[in-house]
Amino acid sequence: MEVKSRMRRTASVAMVALLGFGLVACSAGEADADLNPDEVSGEISLLTPIFEGSPGQDLLEDELLPQFYEEYPNVKVNVDYTTYGNLNEKLTTAVVSGLVPDVMLMGVGWIEAFADKGVLADLGELGLSEADLKESYTDEIVEAGMWDGNVYAVPIMLDTRFGVARMDILKEAGYDSPPSSWDELIEIAEATTVRSGNGSLERAGFDMMSLDARQAFETILFSAGGELFNEDATAPAFNSDEGVAALGLMADMVNKYKVEDIGFTSTDDIVNPLINGRAAMGIAHNNLWTQAMEADSTVLDNLEPFVIEGEASGMFFGGTLATVANNSKNPQAARALLEFLSSPDAALAANEQRGNVPALTELLDSDYVQSNRFVQFAMENLDVAQREGGPSQWLEVRGDFAPAVQGALLGQKTPQEALDDLAALVQTAIDR
């Protein structure tokens, strides 16, 4: 697949001049025509939480940036690599010092805060409109890059979370398909949970612990038909009946149905429990497919993705979006890089390297997507996927979700108490 992909990329180098602006070329033709590569020049900085690590750096510096320089020979890009774990610190110090990178890649849920504070450039002024973007992306994905009716970011890749079942284990237990309701989820989870004679857990029926507690809760919340915030993002809505039911389900899975024990898996586990058979079902990231290919490709045929169905369809998406600094000294060069990174070829290569889901709808037919069942599944179900974020204070409060969820799972608080306490914290932050 890698070789094939490389050949395809190599063959498409000649088309980069056209595809480099693919996003805008098919949407904002006027603005694109304004950008004359010979007239665009300057030294710009790129802050990126993707492309980190050796394979990512190789891809960016040896393959993608040379293509960009071919198109824009007068632009020089200085790359500052980081991880999502350290992105906050990087951005905070950058803003305080006034040295904001010209192009910043950041996550879904981040745009609101930085757009609200005037750190990001309104891309509408550079020729990108909401309507244009919605021709290339689903509505929900475009809205992840918007604030106050304006476009501030263009999506590059998505990270999705959905249910995954080990069909070999389910079939052993007499089930031919993944669960299609919460009741079935509980039933199958109980049937596939294995404990030893002394009661210690050997296989979890439904794993929620190897995923960040906030994101696991959000996925279940969406399947309950709940929302994180009200429509205008001025008040929390996750402590609604749907939210309480979602957290209640998670707590019951641990304490009542006992299909997973606290600590049985964790986000630090090197091998996902669905790969080594320590879990029959679970909520997983789309790159589980890539992990399985590297760890044990024999399980690939047994991994079946499913949307968690409750009162609604529950699927979560985060992702990486490209933004331009409002105070960039070379806005045209920054815009050129943004357009290049979000173009079909560059975005596809970045997604392939990380095993992620391309945001561009047209890439559904690409070889990469068609060869990766989880990515394909995610793209086919993006219409039901929901994102986190909402108010500009999201980054301030998102860290409070995990302790609240953990408190309920540990039985320290009821789901209602945990969510009400969290909602009070969040409301205080919004009102501040």
Q: Which residues bind other proteins (CB under 8 A)?
A: 88-89, 92, 95-96, 113, 117-119, 200, 209, 261-266, 268, 278, 395-399, 402-403, 406-407, 410, 412, 429
Closest distance to other proteins from the beta carbon of 267 (Å) = 9
CA 431 to centroid of chain Cα atoms: 28
Closest distance to other proteins from the beta carbon of 388 (Å) = 15
Contact call for residues 76 and 65 (beta carbons, < 8 A)? no
Closest distance to other proteins from the beta carbon of 86 (Å) = 9
Q: Which of 388, 201, 359, 379 is nearest to 305 (CA)?
A: 379
Closest to other proteins by CB, 122 vs 261, is 261
Closest distance to other proteins from the beta carbon of 215 (Å) = 14
Distance between CA atoms of 132 and 29, rounded to whole angstroms?
A: 10
Distance between CA atoms of 240 and 420, rounded to whole angstroms?
A: 9
Closest to other proteins by CB, 95 vs 235, is 95
- Residue found under tokens 């006027």: 30
Closest to other proteins by CB, 29 vs 118, is 118
| DSSP strands (E only) in 199-266 | 201-203
Distance between CA atoms of 357 and 318, rounded to whole angstroms?
A: 10
Q: Which of helix, strand or coil describes residue 124?
A: helix
Closest to other proteins by CB, 197 vs 263, is 263
Residue 348 has φ and ψ, to the nearest 5°, of -65, -45
Closest distance to other proteins from the beta carbon of 313 (Å) = 30
Q: Which H or E run contains 378?
A: helix 373-380
Closest to other proteins by CB, 95 vs 364, is 95
Distances (CA, A) of 65 to 92, 103, 368: 26, 14, 21
Distance between CA atoms of 183 and 212, rounded to whole angstroms?
A: 24
Q: Which of helix, strand or coil describes residue 179?
A: coil
Closest to other proteins by CB, 242 vs 260, is 260
Closest to other proteins by CB, 382 vs 422, is 422
Closest to other proteins by CB, 260 vs 304, is 260
Closest distance to other proteins from the beta carbon of 378 (Å) = 27
Closest distance to other proteins from the beta carbon of 326 (Å) = 11
Closest distance to other proteins from the beta carbon of 103 (Å) = 19
Q: Which of helix, strand or coil describes residue 212?
A: coil
Return all residues near 7 (Cβ < 8 A) that are at least 6 apart. none
Closest to other proteins by CB, 79 vs 429, is 429
Closest distance to other proteins from the beta carbon of 407 (Å) = 4
Q: Which of 159, 255, 241 is nearest to 208 (CA)?
A: 255
Distance between CA atoms of 213 and 281, rounded to whole angstroms?
A: 16
